[in-house]
Amino acid sequence: MHEMGIAMQLVEIASAAIPGDMENIQVEKVNLKLGKLSSVVPDSLRFCFEIITKETLLAGAELCIQEIEVTARCNDCNAEWTITGPAFSCEKCKSGNITIVSGQELEISSIEIADE
């Protein structure tokens, strides 16, 4: 699985986001948007995150994962709906010509630092 590699990227991005003039800070949370269609297992990612943040500025930080539903738009009839099963055709007109609107996210939205 690739969760360890992804956790390493998380740490890199989050560390770079900490303002350089801040010393001895405690990062409390790393907020991550994770689309349900991405092939990342949340528990596995949390586990990897915890391991590799030890001894870093992010030690003890919580990885908050906001899971994003898979939504699609039909290019033929403009219908928008949430995909919950494995069927990727339009709910209304059955067209397969659809665009995935959300559900593939894998991005850090913010980090939270303890107030002094």
Could you tell me which residues are annotated as the binding site for Zn(2+)? Answer: 74, 77, 90, 93
Q: Which of residues 4, 52, 79, 101 is near other proteins by CB under 8 A?
A: 4
The span from the CA of 97 to the CA of 48, in Å, is: 37
Q: Could you tell me which residues are beta bridge partners of residue 99?
A: 73
* Least distance between other proteins and beta carbon 29 (Å): 8
Signed CA dihedral, 28, 36, 101, 91: sign only: negative
77 in contact with Zn ion (CB under 5 A): yes
Residue 11 binds which entry of Zn ion, other proteins, none, CB below 5-8 Å type-dependent: none
Q: Which of residues 6-65 bind other proteins (CB under 8 A)?
A: 6, 9-10, 13-14, 17-19, 32, 37-40
Q: Which of 72, 65, 73 is nearest to 106 (CA)?
A: 65
